[in-house]
Chains A and B, each alone.
Chain A
Amino acid sequence: MRIAGQKLTGKLAAIYMTVILITIIMLLPFAWMLSASLKLSSEVFVFPIEWIPSNPQWQNYVDIWTKIPLALFIYNTSKLTIIVTLMQLFTSSFAAYAFAKLDFPYKNALFLGYIATIAMPWQVYMVPQFLLMREFGLNNTHLALICLQAFTAFGVFLMRQFYMSIPTELCEAARIDGMNEYQIWAKIMLPLSKPALSTLTIFTFVTTWNDFLGPMIYLTKTELKTIQIGLRMFISQYSAEYGLIMAASVVALIPVLIVFLSLQRFFVEGVASSGLKG
């Protein structure tokens, strides 16, 4: 490789080696997880690591479904995530239309209210929010988590920025054609805002699916738990059953993996565009 005149291939080889090495390091925890999920608890820590178990314990993947209500946790998480995402998309784009294209009293003051809270960490007001929800009798309900995540300033802001870039003449023309504002929103703005909607979908989906502290504060009943805190409960109950814990973790990752791989393009575009704004 180091022959003179072949400098370029040498450089390229170095790049490949580095990239492959880093990728292996990044993915090693997942490989270890997968491998351990097919072992007996006593074999998990055997060193040197036997990456492909000689005696795979497929039984681990059967046992987890009876030892913890994993299916219920996945159902709860999916339910919450889908409802929150749909509500977020609807209410944000709906409000954003008014902020971007309509004139009304106190518009700036109201919008300022949203802007002022964008940078406010949820952790600052999570305790008062919990007290309020408890007052409403929403402690230990999924509704609490929905209320908590469905109306964000971030969503309104993101959608409004996108709507601002759509020419106002389009709305004017539609008004002359006799459309009312609701029709303009539904038939003109929504179809045009697919990129912003998909960015918002991805962000909301990932945040809600992976939320940890919210469900931990609000959901103490096993039958309500989401996959994250359900898995944590399982881990503390069966702390020595390494094989089972790893199998449950693998199962918990599968839905994310599927969603991520199928919507990857939007993920990357969404993240990239959030960076370009700065």
Chain B
Amino acid sequence: MANSTIAAGDTPIVTRRRKVVSRRRRRVQDALVAYSFIAPNFLGFAVFTLGPILFAFVLAFMHWDGSNAMTFAGLDNFWRLFEDKAFIAAFWNTIIYTVVSVPATLACALGLAILLNQKILGRDFFRTAMFFPYVASLVAVAVVWNMIFNPEMGPVNMLLYTLGLDPKDMPGWAADRHWAMVTVILFGVWKSMGYFMVIYLAGLQGINSELYEAADLDGANAWQKFLYVTVPQLGPTTFFVTVMLTIQSFKVFDQIYMITQGGPGTSTLVLVYHIYNEAFVSWDLGYSSMIALVLFFLVLGITVIQFRRQKED
């Protein structure tokens, strides 16, 4: 580290003491400089992120409506979860949304990536087109989605009608409790598959082309090459994409708020929606924090799996 300069003519003892003092002062100074680098971010982070996180864990064991005095609730909020039909619906809907939309998005993203990894004309344009829904403002595209899937007048059902589907059997999309989840999932897949396609494209480019040449020599066809070279080679990418998609699905809210508002009934109510309702509609802040903890443990579970897997690699 830094050497303190020794002035000529000093006696050895004084030098040593001065050295110790200056080294200590130097260390304090270095630390202060380092803290000054961290401070702008850390102060904001501590106040607006760390604080609220700790508060969330406390609040889950309290009763509070935001204006009257807070009272200790013990495990009341926890037991309430099991009696709250809306919570149970929200929990399962979140799981269903995740279980369906994660593999669907993954498959579409991989398919697109393989298609657009070919040397074709206008490849960049096609890639951009696929990616655009991801960056497009959600409200604007969700409102179009609602119009296109309008059960009475929307072009999708009009098309089904011209194709000869009986109006009685027509899906009611967002207004139909059996189809609402499908509508929301379709939207989610459409909006985010371009993003994961880009991640897969990066993964595909990382595959050593010699592997394909070797497979060619062994007389493998395209499907075999996909199954025995591409898929295993993309393993880490697929794992990463799965984790990201799963966490993203656990947190789904915006599109549901815009398309179905959790309905009809509770058919598309999800965890974050329930947190939002309990907090900002019912002002039951303690209970809403308890639901938030459920979300936290779901995400934590996925993160732990990811962490273990990374350690293995």
- Give me the interface of A with B, judged by CB distance under 8 Å: 12, 15-16, 18-19, 22-23, 26-27, 29-30, 32-33, 36, 44-45, 47-49, 90-92, 94-95, 97-99, 102-105, 107, 110, 113-114, 117, 119-121, 123-133, 147-148, 150-153, 155-156, 180-181, 185, 206, 209-210, 212-213, 217, 227-229, 231-232, 235, 242, 245-246, 249-250, 252-253, 256-257, 260-261, 264, 267-268, 271-278
Contact = CB atoms under 8 A, between A and B. Distances in A.
Contacts of A180: 33
B126 interface: yes
B296 to A, nearest CB: 5
A275 B120 contact: no
A29 B253 contact: no
B106 interface: no
A178 B44 CA distance: 32
B48 A148 contact: yes
Interface string B23-55: 000000011011101101111111111111101
B48 A253 contact: no
B277 to A, nearest CB: 11
B53 A120 contact: yes
Given A23-B130, A127-B285, 11 more contacts: A32-B144, A36-B144, A127-B279, A128-B289, A151-B48, A227-B137, A228-B137, A232-B258, A256-B136, A268-B198, A276-B203
Interface stretch (B72-80, B151-159, B174-182, B211-219): B151-159
29 contacts: A12-B120, A15-B118, A23-B129, A26-B190, A32-B148, A33-B141, A45-B158, A49-B155, A92-B41, A98-B37, A107-B34, A114-B45, A117-B49, A119-B299, A123-B275, A124-B295, A125-B53, A126-B292, A127-B275, A128-B289, A131-B285, A132-B47, A148-B48, A151-B49, A228-B137, A235-B143, A246-B147, A252-B137, A275-B203
B95 to A, nearest CB: 16
Interface stretch (B13-21, B82-90, B165-173, B239-247): B239-247
A48 B158 CA distance: 8
B44 A278 contact: no
Contacts of A249: 137, 139-141, 143-144
B33 A102 contact: yes
Nearest to A132: B52
B40 A95 contact: yes
Contact of A252 (B44, B140, B250, B276): B140
Given A117-B53, A128-B59, A260 B292 contact: no
B55 A275 contact: no
Contacts of B153: 45, 47
Contact of A19 (B116, B150, B190, B257): B116
A56 B138 CA distance: 26
Given A119-B303, A129-B52, A94 B40 contact: yes
A49 B155 CA distance: 7
B155 A32 contact: yes
Contacts of B293: 124
B120 to A, nearest CB: 6
Nearest to B243: A278
B202 interface: yes
A191 to B, nearest CB: 17
B127 A125 contact: no
A239 B266 CA distance: 23
B242 to A, nearest CB: 10
B37 A181 contact: yes
Contact of A278 (B37, B135, B240): B240
Given A29-B144, A33-B140, A131-B285, A123 B292 contact: yes
Contacts of A130: 279
A192 to B, nearest CB: 17
A27 B296 CA distance: 36
A176 to B, nearest CB: 10
A173 B231 CA distance: 46
A260 B279 contact: no
B140 A213 contact: no
A276 B202 contact: yes
A277 B202 CA distance: 11
Interface in B120-136: 120, 126-133, 135-136
B178 to A, nearest CB: 23
A246 B130 CA distance: 21
Interface in B277-299: 279-280, 285, 288-289, 292-293, 295-296, 299
A75 to B, nearest CB: 16
A117 B56 CA distance: 13
B303 to A, nearest CB: 4
B135 A45 contact: no
A48 B243 CA distance: 42
A198 to B, nearest CB: 15
